Amino acid sequence: MLLEALGVEVQLFEARGRPGGRLHCVDEGGGAIYEAGGEWIDADHYRVLNLLRHFDMEPTTPGEWPQKLIFRGKECTEATIWNDALEDDLRVEAAAREMCRDLTSPPWSNTHAADLDGRKLGDFIREHTQSERGLWWVNSKYRSDEGDDLDNIGLLGWLSGYLHYLDRDGDVMSAYRIPGGSRQLCEKILGSLNAEPQFQKVLRRVRQDSSGVTLMFDDGQAQVDHVILTLPPPALERVVFEPALSPRRRCAVEACRMSRATKICWEFDHPWWHDLDWGGSLMCDGPIQQTWDGSIGTAPILTAYICGDEAAKWLALGDPVRAGIYELSLMFPDASKHFVRGWAHNWLTDPFSPGAFSHLAPGYVLEHMEHISPPEGRIHFAGEHTALWSGFIEGALESAERVVSEFTKR
């Protein structure tokens, strides 16, 4: 959209048979519509919100019910959280804010913080929590945000993201969803373009020289002046470049980690959670980890979000949908009574983006992050993994603005 507004002639190539990538709104029929991929928008993700409003799409808000918390069989809500868990949460937040005082943006400019870059977020949280329940709660909260176990997340990378949160006021996280689902947004974007997308175009080789760039697919090739690659790092690794990308770029792509996440979505004949005066949002210490009301159409949908090692374990299950209903029914017997059907989407095994979204591993920020986004000749790189808002839909749009600025500076 931005490039065409500048008068640039654009061609679109997509490996999948649909638009959206890791935005994936699924319509199973009978009113069962849900987000299998990216879903939530924070209240200060202004690029996403402005894009929605550009198409007269007013973002929707979740229900007003507080999130339910279950730990060791004990239950409360986020509004009435246990004192020891709340104190640990506040202690971690205070320590993070203090550390952020010495940090600046971009993250790789903090060369004085090499010790933080080498540390794990999990260790930091263990150091600043005092109760078992508090450790579970803080870990659960940030694991959901990062999409993986916190021992895989670098402390400096996490603090660099935390810088975005310092001026937040009130409940900003996961404040909105895309009205009607992300598929409608993708269709509106495509409908506004002159370019016609070409689907099922799996990129195998990129060759550039002084005259332009040749893109080679399984079923042909295309000649362009410049190319913007939005492939996630694991997919980018499989592409052959002639000449080869710079060693720093190759190392950055290889070092960029993708979070392990699974979504399981269940359809019910009745939103039984409303009968319990509950909105469906849950954090628990069981294998399901997290749920929320994922209904977009007329059918009641409950979504489970499972991250990290636990997500990898669910890969081995023959029927994760039924296994999930069993686990859910241990907490809420009504789940099995009203269950109709369900679907599992495991992003670990997705062929075009093995993993859900990028995260900043220990050591990544100072050694690699700076080298993941700059262009190399006529080849430009975009996607949330190249942005400061890494891991978010907002980051994907941020990267689009950066790439367009690269063109205007030519």
Which structure tokens are listed for 142? 């940030």
Position 374 scores a pLDDT of 97
52-91 as b/e: b if 16+ CB within 10 A = beeeebebeebeebebbbbbeeeebebeebbebbeebbeb
Question: What pLDDT, on a 0 to 100 scale, did the predictor assign at position 62?
Answer: 85
How far apart are the C-alpha atoms of 216 and 206, rounded to whole Å? 6
pTM value?
A: 0.95
Q: Among residues of the chain, what percentage have pLDDT more than 90?
A: 94
Interstrand relation of 12-13 and 25-27 (parallel, antiparallel or unpaired) = unpaired
Q: What is the pLDDT of residues 212-269, one digit of tens each?
A: 999 999 999 999 999 999 999 999 999 999 999 999 999 999 999 999 999 999 999 9
Mean pLDDT of 36-52: 96
Model pLDDT, residue 409 = 78
Beta strand 379-381 with 227-229 is: parallel
Give residue-wise pLDDT tens across range 54-80.
999 999 998 778 999 999 999 999 999
pLDDT tens digits, one per residue of 128-143: 999 999 999 999 999 9
Contact call for residues 84 and 130 (beta carbons, < 8 A): yes
Alpha-carbon span 324 to 304, nearest angstrom: 8
Summarize the chain as % helix, strand, coil (round to 5).
Answer: 40, 20, 40
d(CA 391, CA 235): 16
User: Minimum mean pLDDT among 55-64, 194-203, 377-386: which range?
Assistant: 55-64
C-alpha 233/C-alpha 365 separation (Å) is 15
pLDDT higher than threshold 90 for residue 279:
yes
pLDDT at 317 over 90: no
CATH fold group of domain 80-165: Guanine Nucleotide Dissociation Inhibitor; domain 1 (1.10.405)
Amino acid at 6: L
For the cut 90, the answer to whether the pLDDT of residue 348 exceeds it is yes
| Model pLDDT, residue 73 | 95
Domain residue ranges of the chain, discontinuous segments joined by +:
80-165
Give the residue-averaged pLDDT of 102-114.
Answer: 97
Task: Please tell me the distance from the alpha carbon of residue 328 to that of residue 272, in angstroms, as a whole number.
Answer: 12
> Is the predicted pLDDT of residue 174 greater than 80, yes or no?
yes
Integer angstrom CA distances of residue 221 from 12, 76, 203, 239, 267: 13, 58, 9, 14, 43
- Residue pointed to by tokens 């983006």: 353
